[in-house]
């Protein structure tokens, strides 16, 4: 190699090294977190808590932007359309997968249009009944429903919600026909159960927990495959009815738009997983009624594919549509 070519190669290598060294550490500016639910709810509380922890560990601000509407699809679609640079992130939930399946005019596919980061939390739903309902157990509910097909109403937080789907899953697996009554959110449904206007409900744990604990409603079973620590006296639906495959779990997680750089995904995933493992984080989530998760991006992607396939089958078989 002659001296001129060697000098040119050396200068090129040095310049390249300076460019690499000059690359700013991610994140170099605030990250926007879209929460597709209203302020004050369970998902909002979790999103704000975890991003506060991320801000502390990464030395960068996370700006929360609540965009409720269309069963969470409004906020999710904003993220789908955002520049995939690691600076717009979605607080997703199981509804991010199920709502597009229920809708005939879905703007996105949760698997195709997003890049998984990690699952943050999981929490059960709980089957509960008003105090005037004659049944005392989950088996009683099924027996009464078998004797009175389509005559026993159950409330949920809305068409296509995980509470609704949990009810339809029970209908299918137990061979019953409970009648679905959708509400605009869990609280109004609970009010009607407390007031004796509707006998049965599948409720999110966070809304139901104080009423079950105080004895104002009767909890029958939780929808996870393991018992829930805060209501350990309640069986799971799986064990109460000998239905080992019954499960209808709420969860939250982080998604980026598709094609977001791997460096951003791995950075947020790594810091989030570390935060979820901290005792103070676990204690805070326990008070809120959630169990921390923290899978890798690949594991979360696999979970989302399984969930999409499973609930698509239930939704189509039951003919559920929100349109």
Q: Are residues 267 and 256 in the same domain?
A: yes
Characterize 190-214 residue by residue with b for buried, 16 or more Cβ atoms within 10 angstroms of its Cβ, and e for exposed.
bebbeeeebbbbbbbbbbbbebbee
Q: Does residue 213 form part of some domain?
A: yes
> What DSSP character marks residue 259?
T
In a domain, 5, yes or no: no
Say yes or no: 53 and 88 in one domain: yes
Q: Is residue 9 part of a domain?
A: no
Q: Which of 225, 228, 209 is nearest to 217 (CA)?
A: 209
Would you give per-residue pLDDT tens digits along the chain (323 residues)? 555 454 444 445 444 444 344 567 899 999 999 999 888 878 899 999 999 999 999 999 999 999 988 888 999 999 999 999 999 999 999 999 999 999 988 899 999 999 999 999 999 999 999 999 999 999 999 999 999 999 999 999 888 889 999 999 999 999 999 999 998 888 899 999 999 999 999 999 888 999 999 999 999 999 999 999 889 999 999 999 999 999 999 999 999 999 999 999 999 999 999 999 999 999 999 888 899 999 999 999 999 999 999 999 999 999 998 86
Question: 189 and 295 share a domain?
Answer: no
Contact 204, 161 (CB under 8 A): no
Range of the domain at 53: 31-122+250-318
Is 152 inside any structural domain? yes
CB 58 within 8 A of CB 76: no
Task: Say yes or no: 85 and 104 in one domain.
Answer: yes
189, 220, 241 - which closes a domain: 241
Secondary structure E strands in the chain: 31-35, 62-66, 88-93, 114-129, 153-156, 179-182, 200-204, 218-222, 249-257, 291-292
- CA 112 → CA 18, 108, 161, 212, 315, distances in Å? 37, 8, 21, 39, 19
Both 59 and 130 in one domain: the answer is no
Instruction: With CA atoms as reference, report the closest residue to 240 among 112, 153, 138.
Output: 138
d(CA 133, CA 38) in angstroms, rounded, equals: 33
Residues 234 and 301 in one domain: no
Among candidate residues 241, 266, 290, the one where a domain is terminated:
241
For position 140, which CATH number holds?
A: 3.40.190.10
Q: How many domains does the chain have?
A: 2
**89 within a domain of the structure (yes/no):** yes
Residue 132 lies in a domain: yes
Q: What is the pLDDT of residue 7?
A: 46
Q: Are residues 170 and 90 in the same domain?
A: no
Shared-domain flag, residues 286 and 307: yes
| Residue 117 contacts residue 293 (beta carbons within 8 Å) | no
Asked if residue 189 lies in contact with residue 214, where contact means CB atoms within 8 angstroms, the answer is no
Contact 139, 129 (CB under 8 A): no
The residue from 183, 208, 241 where one domain ends is 241
103 and 129, same domain (yes or no): no
Identify the pLDDT of residue 23. Answer: 60
- Do 111 and 147 fall within a single domain? no
Residue 70's SS3 state is: helix
Query: Within a domain: residue 19?
Result: no
The CA distance from 273 to 119, in Å, is 9
Same domain, 229 and 304: no
pLDDT at 41: 79
User: Is 296 within the bounds of a domain?
Assistant: yes
CATH number at residue 84: 3.40.190.150
Do residues 271 and 167 share a domain?
Answer: no
Q: What is the pLDDT of residues 57-88, one digit of tens each?
A: 999 999 999 998 888 899 999 999 999 999 99
């Amino acid at each position: 190699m002659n001296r001129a070519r060697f000098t040119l190669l050396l200068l090129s290598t040095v310049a390249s090294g300076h460019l690499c060294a000059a690359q700013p550490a991610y994140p170099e500016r605030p990250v926007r977190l879209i929460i597709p639910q209203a302020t004050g709810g369970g998902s909002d509380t979790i999103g704000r808590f975890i991003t506060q922890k991320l801000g502390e560990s990464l030395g960068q601000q996370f700006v929360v932007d609540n965009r409720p509407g269309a069963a969470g699809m409004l906020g999710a679609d904003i993220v789908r359309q955002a520049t995939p640079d690691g600076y717009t992130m979605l607080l997703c939930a199981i509804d991010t997968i199920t709502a597009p399946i229920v809708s005939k005019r879905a703007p996105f596919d949760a698997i195709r249009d997003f890049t998984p980061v990690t699952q943050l939390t999981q929490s059960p739903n709980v089957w509960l009944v008003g105090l005037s309902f004659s049944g005392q157990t989950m088996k009683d509910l099924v027996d009464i429903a078998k004797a009175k097909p389509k005559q026993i109403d159950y409330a949920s937080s809305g068409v296509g919600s995980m509470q609704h789907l949990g009810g339809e899953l029970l209908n299918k697996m137990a061979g019953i026909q409970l009648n679905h009554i959708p509400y605009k959110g869990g609280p109004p449904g609970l009010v009607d159960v407390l007031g004796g206007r509707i006998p049965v409900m599948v409720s999110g744990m966070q809304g139901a927990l104080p009423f079950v604990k105080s004895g104002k409603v009767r909890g029958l079973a939780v929808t996870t495959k393991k018992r829930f620590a805060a209501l350990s006296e309640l069986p799971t639906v799986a064990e109460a009815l000998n239905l080992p495959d019954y499960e209808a779990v709420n969860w939250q997680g982080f998604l980026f738009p598709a094609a977001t750089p791997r460096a951003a995904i791995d950075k947020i995933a790594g810091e989030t997983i570390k935060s979820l493992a901290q005792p103070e984080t676990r204690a805070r989530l326990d008070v809120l009624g959630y169990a921390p998760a923290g899978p890798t991006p690949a594991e979360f992607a696999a979970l989302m594919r399984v969930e999409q396939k499973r609930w698509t089958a239930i939704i189509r078989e039951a003919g559920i549509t929100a349109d």
